[in-house]
Each structure stands twice: as structure tokens, then as C-alpha cells.
Amino acid sequence: MKIKKIIPIYTLITGLLFVTSCELQDIPDANNPSVSSVTSNATVGQLQNLITGLESRSKEYVGTASNAFGTFDRDIWYFNGADPRNVQYWTGQAEAVPSSTFYGVDAAYTGPYSAIKQANVLISAVNNTSSVTETQKNAIIGFAKTIQGYQYLVPANSLYQNGIRIDVSDPLNPGPFVSYTEALTAIKKILDEGYTALSNAGSTLPFTLTKGYTDFNTPAGLGKVNRALAARVAIYQKDWQGALDALSKSFFNLNGDLNIGPAHVYGNPPETYNPLYFVLDASYNSGAVVHPSLIADALPGDSRVKTKFFHRTTPLVSTAGKVALSSEYQDKRWADATSPIKYIRNEELVLIYAEASAQLNKTVDAVTAINIIRSSANLAPYTGATDLGSLITEILFQRRYSLWFEPAAHRWIDLRRYGRLNEIPVALDKGVVFTQLAIPISEVNWDKFKNK
């Protein structure tokens, strides 16, 4: 009888967190030190290594989540010339309702939990060392919890009503799956704890971050990132005043640079390349293409069409699914394979402000924010109706183009929270629109194993 080893996917810990085998546990491994070696009086250097590792792990979700969720909401189609399953599964041709073994989305779940685990180890290390002061500890814990809050959002939004695990501090005794509502409440609490810590962390960071945080490289700066993420969580909770309150403490600026925000950084090996970059007009058969509906539905003169979408000389075609798919456009946003990817920007914050204001019947404020977005896209001011339904329709339309194909999805989540998933165009690919992903089979198997 063959016995399968069941491993809950959030316990996959590599790099600094790889535990050596029992036969060699007394022999230190300089490349893969044990967890205990960094959670007992860690040195400043070890803490820095954990922080660097956390920032690196925090981007592991980007390629899979962006391509899969972007296909779900038809921001893009993801073509894979070597494997037809991406098109077949992600457009809903193979499974109308995703199963626990749904193809190709594992990294959108394991990536965030890897970062969450790294943050847990970092927090444990900080709480059990005398190498840093209490003020410095606050800075490190604040950063760790800010990243954790964001990482939990990725699986929470993809599994939705199927829920996620929040308590994963003990890999061999994880907490139960909690509902989406409970998950958002827990995520808000984590972010709030991070913000409190950063508010008591002095004026300088006792660690180094990459250039992705150049504009936020102080406790106060990281606090603004934290509150930006809190504002995103608030609109998912329909806490409209909470969203405005969070924005007031973030880097939100109605008249500021819409592109400012923290970023995942990429580089030449051994660093990873930007997973969304492809050479313009090159011949390739695996990658994202712009969904034709983005071109067809764009307003005349919208500059986002020219700045985000590159019109190719020759269309890219996929024949992997039920019908042939073709797009004349590809992503134009990246200068090269080392371009950073921002995971939240001021443009999103302006749109959150517009949405929360509309929901609170602050019509003038909502229209003002809408027009800032429209003006940035060289569009005329908004002249439509100002009832709530009309304003939300306009805001969702602007979010579609302003936040197109950004990390961890927007349109899929936006249309779902407003009950408008039927607006996602599926006629061209003969597919369906998903509401959510299933709990991964590894988690299902773990619970079965644990309960025996």
C-alpha cells in the first residue's frame, strides 16, 4: 500500500526557514539555518535577513495571481503554448465551478502563506531577542504585520465565501477556516496592530528595504502604506467611513502623483524578473494578452489605452481552448524585465475616495475624485447622473482601466462585491465567470488527516 505524505501548503518553508533533517539537526547549515536558530536571541544581521526574505516572499503571488485572476475577470487572456490547460481552466471551459484540484493557481495560495509564515518567524525572532530596542522592535513588527495583512487578502479574495485560515502560527495545528467576513475582520485587526506598532517606532527604520519602498522608508512612511491597505480592506467590508478615515492617514493625495506607491522589485539573476513583462511586438506563445473588450469598450481619447496597451503588428493567437482566441494588444506598462510592480497606488486611493464618498452621499466629493481620474486619462469631466447607482457604474468603469491587470486583481473582486459578475464578457471564449476558487486539495487532505 502506498502512503501519500500530506503537507498543508502553508507550511512549505524554504530559504532561511528550511529545517534540517533530524539526522543532521546538530550540525548548523549556514545556507538553511533552522527556525530555532533565528527565534532565540537573533542578531541584527539575522533580523535583517528575515526582513529581506519577507520582502522577497511578499511578491511570490504576483505572476500566478495576476494572470489567473486577470483571466477570470477578462482583463487578459493568459496563453500558454506549452500547456492548453491555462486557457481551458481559467476561462471556465474545463470546469464551470472550480474544484479543489483546479489547475495552475497553487502559487496564488502558497505564495501568500509563505510570506505570512516568514512574518510570523520574524515577529517571534523580534520578541525573543535583546539585539534591538523596544522602539526598533515596533518598527520591525509593524512592517511584518503590514505585509501579513496584505498577503492574507490574496487568498481571502480568491477563496471568498469558502474562507481561509487565519491562525497558522503552529504549522502542525492550524486554526480552522473562517468565513470571508471573519477573515476581513482579522485582516483589519492585523493591519491595525501593525499601524499601532509603526506609530511607536520612532523616526527611522532599524533595517533596510529595497528601492520599492524608497518613498516610504521610515516608520511614518510604512504607516501610510499600512493605512492605504486598510482603506482597501474597508471598502471590501463596506465600511465607507472607515475607508475615508484610513485614507486620511495614508499617502492618498487628490492632487498628487497617481502612480506613487510601494512596489515589488525585480532584477537580474539571482533576483527574479518581472513576471508580467514581455518584449513588445515579439513572437511568443506563452503570456498575457489584452482582452479585446478593453479596446472595444474604451472611451474615445482615453490615454490609458495608449499607455497601457501596445498595438502589435501581428496578433497573438491561442487555439488551446474550445475556440481560437486572438488579441492584437499586449501589456505596455513595463520598460524592461527588471521594472518594479506597484501593489497599491495613489490612483486606487483616489478611486476608493470616490467610492466611499458616493456611498456616503457625498456626491460633490465623489464627482471631484472621478474627474481627477478622468482628467488624468484626457477625458472630459463626468456629466452623467449622480444617483448612487450611476456613480458606482462610473467608478467601476474607471477602476477597470486605471487598475487594469494590477497585482491580485481588482475587477473580479469589484464586480463580485456589487453583484455584477454577469458584466464580465465571455462570448469570445465561450467560457464562464467564477465566483470563487475552492479550498485547495492539500488543505482538504490535511484536515482529513488531522481529524482521523
The per-residue pLDDT for 171 is 84
The per-residue pLDDT for 34 is 65
Look up the CATH number of the domain holding residue 108.
1.25.40.390
Residue 281 located in a structural domain: no
**3-class SS of residue 264:** strand
Q: What is the pTM of this model?
A: 0.93
Return the DSSP state at 319.
-
Return the DSSP state at 300.
T
Cα–Cα distance measured from residue 218 to residue 221, given in angstroms and rounded to the nearest whole number? 5
> From the CB of residue 215, how many other CB atoms can be counted at a distance below 10 Å?
16
Given a contact cutoff of 8 angstroms between Cβ atoms, the answer to whether 119 and 147 are in contact is: yes
Q: In the numeric block, which cell numbers belong to residue 142?
A: 509593524
Residue 84 located in a structural domain: yes
The per-residue pLDDT for 33 is 54
Q: In the numeric block, which cell numbers belong to residue 50?
A: 528575515
Last residue of a domain, one of 277, 306, 331: 331
Q: Is the dihedral of CA 446, 62, 169, 53 positive or negative?
A: positive
The verdict on 77 and 94 lying in the same domain is yes
Distances (CA, A) of 74 to 16, 80, 414: 38, 16, 13
The verdict on 8 and 151 lying in the same domain is yes
Among 385, 372, 51, smallest CA distance to 205 is for 51
Residue 71 located in a structural domain: yes
Cα–Cα distance measured from residue 267 to residue 382, given in angstroms and rounded to the nearest whole number? 41
The verdict on 401 and 412 lying in the same domain is no
Residue 57 located in a structural domain: yes
The verdict on 315 and 359 lying in the same domain is no
Residue 275 located in a structural domain: no
Residue 448 located in a structural domain: no
Residue 278 located in a structural domain: no
The H-or-E segment that residue 222 falls in is: helix 219-236
Tens-digit pLDDT profile for the chain (452 aa)? Answer: 333 333 444 444 433 333 322 333 344 444 445 676 777 899 999 999 999 999 999 999 999 999 999 999 999 999 999 999 999 999 999 999 999 999 999 999 999 999 999 999 999 999 999 999 999 999 999 999 999 999 999 999 999 999 999 999 998 899 999 999 999 999 999 999 999 999 999 999 999 999 999 999 999 999 999 999 999 999 999 999 999 999 999 999 999 999 999 999 999 998 899 999 999 999 998 999 999 999 999 999 999 999 999 999 999 999 999 999 999 999 999 999 999 999 999 999 999 999 999 999 999 999 999 999 999 999 999 999 999 999 999 999 999 999 999 998 999 999 999 999 999 999 999 999 999 999 999 999 998 887 77
Q: What is the dihedral of CA 222, 226, 232, 238, to 10 degrees?
A: -150
The verdict on 218 and 355 lying in the same domain is no
The verdict on 257 and 301 lying in the same domain is no
Among 50, 236, 261, smallest CA distance to 143 is for 50
Given a contact cutoff of 8 angstroms between Cβ atoms, the answer to whether 227 and 250 are in contact is: yes
Given a contact cutoff of 8 angstroms between Cβ atoms, the answer to whether 193 and 217 are in contact is: no
The verdict on 143 and 221 lying in the same domain is yes
Cα–Cα distance measured from residue 452 to residue 436, given in angstroms and rounded to the nearest whole number? 28
Cα–Cα distance measured from residue 147 to residue 53, given in angstroms and rounded to the nearest whole number? 12
Question: Grid coordinates 506549452 are at which residue?
Answer: 82
The per-residue pLDDT for 16 is 39
Question: Grid coordinates 470546469 are at which residue?
Answer: 95
Tally the domains of the chain. Answer: 3
The verdict on 236 and 215 lying in the same domain is yes
DSSP character string of 415-428: HHHTT-GGGS--TT
- Domain extent, residue 318, equals 286-331
Three-point CA angle 14, 19, 23, nearest 5°: 140
**3-class SS of residue 136:** helix
The verdict on 354 and 305 lying in the same domain is no
Q: In the numeric block, which cell numbers belong to residue 155?
A: 487568498
Cα–Cα distance measured from residue 434 to residue 90, given in angstroms and rounded to the nearest whole number? 9
Return the DSSP state at 9.
G
Residue 451 located in a structural domain: no
The verdict on 103 and 200 lying in the same domain is yes
Cα–Cα distance measured from residue 253 to residue 261, given in angstroms and rounded to the nearest whole number? 11
Q: Is the dihedral of CA 35, 36, 39, 44 positive or negative?
A: negative
Question: Grid coordinates 505524505 are at which residue?
Answer: 5
The verdict on 40 and 181 lying in the same domain is yes
Distances (CA, A) of 6 to 12, 163, 374: 12, 21, 51
The verdict on 311 and 257 lying in the same domain is no
